[in-house]
Structure 1
Amino acid sequence: PDMHIATLNDKGKLEVELVVERGRGYVPAVQNRASGAEIGRIPVDSIYSPVLKVTYKVDATRVEQRTDFDKLILDVETKSSINPRDALASAGKTLVELFGLARELNVEAEGIEIGPSPAEADHIASFALPIDDLDLTVRSYNCLKREGVHTVGELVSRTESDLLDIRNFGQKSIDEVKVKLHQLGLSLKDSPASFDPSEVAGYDVATGTWSNDGSYDDQDYAETEQL
């Protein structure tokens, strides 16, 4: 709320639409730049970490008659989404896992693969795909484009509830998106892994087509308009 965005004179007017997303760690602006984004969209760096500040100092301390011990004092400041104790506990757990790898350096490592697995690599590649490649109906495609969803990675970061909040994006569009993502081995955020396309009304798994039951008409499949 204290971020300085612009300075206007008496005749100036400013209309800004901000996009707020969930994430992890730090993401530079160059990675937030979506391909084919409309003119005027300005990507910025994203800092998702709930930890605002950490300082430490080491003081001498006494244990019984000995005075050659050290005491570590940590000052952790966080956002309201997590308290300092939980943040420190999470960091400690991560350190234990990382140092656990070093413990095995004197023996031959077995079954350890460096880098993403082939399946993970496929998923990472799929995240960069534009939603144009999903071959969505024009209705679903245009709704997502207007909402600023341009890639598969941006799409899978949304929940069903997020998509239902989009104007004109109903349950039939949700089903269509879930089927398309399932074909890539992906799913919407927080969606159950047990999704079965054969249970979607009007969708023929064998042919990969929708039945002509009124769910989608010719207009839905018309050429996608340029946004």
Structure 2
Amino acid sequence: MKSINTSAHIPTEIEVENIAPNKIKVIAYPFESGFAVTLAHPLRRLLFSSTVGYAPIAVKIDGVTHEFDSIRGMLEDVALFIINLKGIRFKIKTDEKRVVLNYSFSGPKEITGADLNNDDVEIVTPDNYLATLNEDAELNFSVIIEKGVGYVPSENIREDIGTDYIALDAFFTPVSKAVYDIENVLVEDNPNFEKIVFTIETDGLISPIEAFKNSMEAMYAQMSVFKGILDIEVTTNDEDTSAGVELGKLLQSIEDLNLSARSFNCLERASVKYIGELALMTEAELKNLKNLGKKSLEEIKQVMEDIEFPVGYEFLDETSEKLRKKIEDLKSENNEG
């Protein structure tokens, strides 16, 4: 008879294969049936939407008033020039979020990404083609490079640039490819376990493994909002769920705040035993506690802010009353009232 599990199998194996420059495979297994796609799909979405990159968001060209114009002596019209420009990948060398680059070229010349390198930016696609000028042509243009994530349409950019600039659709993500396959893998005598095979490719702004790490960090950060669920007290009545999240943390002892001995002793002498009592106090009430110095006051305020229940927290009336009642009951049970 097959054994009956009481928890999901935890995958233990991970492999990374370098396929080509800026291209890898990430393989993880074994997952129980259904778990692989549950993780792979959001990770793929986050690879495209959460990895920071750089992109041209606007361009200004001397003698050009709109994107359907043309430039005397240049092989490409402005629309094709813009398409080629968006295909060149810039990387700002400093911590600046935005830089404005100015370029001037005279013909005859074939312009590629390598010609756009300067002190402000590095071009990670130096061979990408931009335009061709004939012998009597001149091309003077400015381009705004911005740091961002995901995709931003030109309509959202127009208000943030000068009227003499042409807004561009901005493709910030440095991830050019992110696909996954789910394969079956045998575990002992069970062929229904699964393997995730990710194929990830970037444009060179960052490495594929760094992009994958970024997506995992984004997933963890987004899921952290649910940490509070661990503090909910399991009840058999219809208590308000949000109140449960609050009460679970606030009914813990002030010992869990890891205050200094001076601050803890002052609260204990004032018969303040539970974190919720501090959240229910106004700052004025806290200041009036006997022998509570300024340093201890600031420490308590900071610790309460760190747990996101600052002194004087504004509860719903019914939650506030419920919290007071719970604290009174706990003190009564422990002969602390």
Q: TM-score by structure 1 length?
A: 0.39
Q: Over alpha carbons, which structure has the higher Rg?
A: 2
Greater fraction strand: 2
Higher relative contact order (CA 8 A, sep 6+): 2
Q: TM-score by structure 2 length?
A: 0.27
